A = this chain, B = another copy of it.
Amino acid sequence: MKTKRADSNKSGPVTLARVAKLAGVSPSTVSRILNGTAVVSEEKRKSIDEAIAKLGFIPNPVARGLAGGRTLSIGVVTQAIDSPFYGPALRGIEDELDSAGYSPLFVSAHWDPVSEARCIDVLRSRRVDGLIVLNGSLSDQALKATAKHLPIVVTGRAIKGPGLFALNFDNYTGGLLATEHLVALGHRRIAFITGDAAHPDANERFRGYTDALKKAGIAFDPQLVMPGDYQVITGQQATEKLLSSRRKFTALFAANDQMAYGAALCLHRKGLRIPQDVSLIGFDDLSHSLYAAPPLSTIHQPAYELGRLTASSILQMLAGNKPTSVMPGPELIVRDSTAKA
C-alpha cells in the first residue's frame, strides 16, 4: 500500500500551531521548548521535536518580533558598506552573530550625523534588538539617549553609560610605534600626512607622532606635516606638496594606509624609490597593504577581530551580562617600505 508523501510544503506555511497540533500539545508548549522558557516533560518534548523535524518547521522571525519584541537582528551602522577598512569588521560581525542565530542589518551613514540619525531610526523601526555603531559621528548625548531603549556597542570613542559599551583602539600608541620604528631606523626628518581632523582617531595618531619625536629629541617641524582626509587622493596631493616644498625628509608616515598608497604613487611618479629614497609607513594594515609594491610597513588594526568583539559584546549585553571584551593593542608590522636612513 502506498504511503502519502510526508511533505513539509503542504498548503500554507508551516506554523508553530501546526507543529502543536501534530504533536498533540498546545502552541504555548511548543513555544516554550523553542525558547527554553520553561521546563517541559521529556515525553512532550520528544513528540514536539519529532513534529518539528517532520514538518521542517522554522520559526518566523517576523511574527516573533511582533509578539516577543525580539527580532534576532542587530543593526549595524557603518559609514560605508564598501570601506576597505570596515569590510573585514563587517565580516567579523556577521560571523559572530550568525553563530548565535542573529542577523546583522547593515546601513551606511556616509559620515554624516544627520544620515546617521536617520539610519538609527530605520533600524529601530525594524525593531533590531541591539545596535553596533562603527565610528559614528553622533553626539555622545544622542547615543546615550537611544541606549535607554536598546543596547549599543560603539567603536572609535570612549563613552560609558547604561546600555552602552565602547570598544576603542589605541591610536595614540599606534602613532607612537610607527614613528619610533622610523626613528629606530635612523630617520630624523619624518614627514606626516594627517587624517581628517574631524576623526578623533586621526588626532590621536598625530599625537603619537609628535610625542615620539619629542621623546627622540627631534624638533617638531610643522612644515613636514601635511593635511589629508584619509582618502587616497589626498595622500598623493600631500606628498606632492611635500616634495615641491623642497623641505627634505627621508621618511613619511601617512595616518592611514590609503593615503600611504597615494603617497607611494606620487613618489613612484617622481622617480623616488621606496624605501631607498624615502621610507613609507601607513596605518590600519588593510588587506591590500601586504601586496602593495613594495609591501607596506604599517600599524596593524585587527578589523575582523574588532567586528567579532563588537558582536559578542552586544550579544553579552542582550544576555544581561556586562561585556568584558578588550581590544587588542596596536602592532607594528614591518614590511618592505621602510629601511635604514
Which residues does A use to contact B, with CB under 8 Å? 6, 58-63, 65-66, 69, 71, 73, 80-84, 87-88, 90-91, 94, 103-108, 121-122, 125-127, 232-233, 236, 261-262, 264-265, 268, 288, 291-295
Contacts and interface: CB of A to CB of B under 8 A. Distances in A.
Nearest to A336: B269
Contacts of A94: 81, 107-108
Given A80-B91, A82-B87, A84-B84, A236 B291 contact: yes
Nearest to A303: B82
A10 to B, nearest CB: 15
User: Nearest 6 pairs between A and B by C-beta?
Assistant: A82-B87, A268-B293, A62-B65, A232-B291, A81-B90, A265-B293
Contacts of A65: 62
Contacts of A294: 265, 268
A262 B288 contact: no
Nearest to A65: B62
A103 B108 contact: no
A174 to B, nearest CB: 22
A291 B268 contact: no
B232 A261 contact: no
Contact of A126 (B80, B103, B262, B291): B103
A60 B128 CA distance: 12
A69 B12 CA distance: 13
11 contacts: A58-B121, A61-B126, A62-B126, A81-B90, A81-B91, A81-B94, A82-B87, A94-B108, A232-B291, A264-B293, A293-B293
A80 B108 CA distance: 17
B291 A261 contact: yes
Contacts of A264: 293
A91 B90 CA distance: 14
Nearest to A60: B125
A65 B65 CA distance: 10
B103 A122 contact: yes
A232 B88 CA distance: 16
Nearest to A61: B126
A5 to B, nearest CB: 9
Contacts of A62: 62, 65-66, 71, 126-127
Nearest to A84: B84
A94 B77 CA distance: 13
A314 to B, nearest CB: 18
A141 to B, nearest CB: 16
A63 B66 contact: yes
Contacts of A80: 91
A81 B87 contact: yes
Nearest to A86: B82
Nearest to A304: B82
A153 to B, nearest CB: 18
